[in-house]
């Protein structure tokens, strides 16, 4: 039995959900998101609760049960509060600047990096060494943050690069005599 799947997803005020076939669409103050579940589960909207139940007791149905419930919960979270990833830049002269939907990164290369921000994502720079990625789609927010981090991932000797806020980088000692 799925412990996660058993819990119904509660819809806060201002959020509505509708099911057509295997697709659930959730509308909220930040936008609209939808998810198409597999045929192994049944999604039912009853008032302000969304329940996901498996069809049968096969291993795949039980796997999809918990995953589908979590996806529905993420839809609700996305349209109410949204998702956010924070990045920190460490290194002398490394900085970032958000201009419209282009993030300009100065990362020690011979040229500045212009990162085009996809639609549905907002990137802001509260400080020159901090980047905030926000949006209603958790997967897309994480992917954009990972692509920004990819330009200069933190290295283990000096710790320079772009890291997630609160991420621990294992530091190595340099050469020893």
Domain co-membership, 61 together with 91 = no
Same domain for 134 and 102, yes or no, is yes
Domain shared by 69 and 89, yes or no: no
Last residue of some domain: 80, 115, 149?
Answer: 80
Mean pLDDT of 79-87: 95
Q: What share of the chain is helix, strand, coil (3-state, %, to 5)?
A: 20, 40, 40
What are the residues whose beta carbons fall under 8 Å from the beta carbon of 161, sequence distance 6 or more?
A: 89, 90, 91, 94, 149, 152, 153, 154, 155
Residue 116, phi-psi category: left (phi > 0), alpha (psi -120 to 50), beta (remainder): beta
Report the CATH number that the domain containing residue 131 is assigned in CATH: 3.90.930.12
Residue 95, pLDDT score: 94
pLDDT in tens, 106-131: 999 999 999 999 999 999 999 999 99
Residue 146 and residue 158: Cα distance in Å, rounded?
21
Residues 6+ apart with CB under 8 A from 25: 17, 18, 19, 32, 33, 34
* Averaged pLDDT, 57-69: 91
What is the pLDDT at residue 68? 93
Shared domain for 151 and 89, answered yes or no, is yes
Which of 80, 108, 141 terminates a domain? The answer is 80
- Which residues lie closer than 8 Å to 158 by C-beta, 6 or more apart? 91
Beta strand extents in 109-159 (DSSP E only): 113-116, 121-124, 130-135
Query: What number of H helices and E strands is found in the chain?
Result: 3, 13
Residues 160 and 88 in one domain: yes
Q: Are residues 72 and 124 in the same domain?
A: no
Quick one: 90 and 62 in the same domain? no
* Size of the chain in residues: 177
Whether the pLDDT of residue 162 is over 90: the answer is yes
| pLDDT over 70 (residue 2) | no
The residues pairing with 51 across neighbouring beta strands, listed in sequence order, are 44
Q: What percent of the chain has pLDDT over 90?
A: 85
Q: Give the end of a domain, one of 48, 80, 112.
A: 80
- Are residue 131 and residue 154 in the same domain, yes or no? yes
pLDDT interval class at 5 (50, 70, 90): confident
Q: Report if residue 33 sits inside a domain.
A: yes
Does 89 fall in a domain? yes
What pLDDT score was predicted for residue 175? 86
- The verdict on residue 27 lying in a domain is yes
The range of the structural domain enclosing residue 109 comes to: 83-164
Residue 159 CA to residue 73 CA, distance in Å, equals 36
Whether residue 103 sits in one domain with residue 74: no
Q: What is the mean pLDDT of the chain?
A: 92
Question: Domain total for the chain?
Answer: 2
């Amino acid at each position: 039995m799925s412990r996660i799947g058993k819990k119904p997803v509660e819809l806060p005020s201002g959020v509505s959900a509708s099911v057509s076939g295997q697709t659930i669409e959730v509308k909220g103050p930040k936008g609209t998101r939808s998810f198409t579940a597999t045929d192994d589960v049944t999604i039912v909207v009853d008032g302000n609760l969304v329940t996901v139940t498996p069809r049968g007791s096969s291993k795949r149905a039980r796997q999809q049960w918990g995953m589908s419930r979590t996806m529905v919960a993420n839809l609700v979270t996305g349209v109410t509060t949204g998702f956010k990833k924070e990045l920190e830049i460490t290194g002398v002269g490394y900085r970032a600047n958000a201009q419209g939907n282009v993030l300009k990164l100065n990362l020690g290369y011979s040229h500045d990096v212009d990162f085009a921000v996809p639609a549905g994502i907002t990137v802001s720079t509260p400080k020159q060494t901090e980047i905030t990625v926000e949006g209603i789609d958790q997967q897309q927010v994480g992917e954009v943050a990972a692509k920004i981090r990819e330009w200069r991932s933190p290295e283990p000797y000096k710790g320079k690069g772009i890291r997630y806020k609160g991420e621990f980088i294992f530091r190595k000692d340099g050469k020893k005599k």
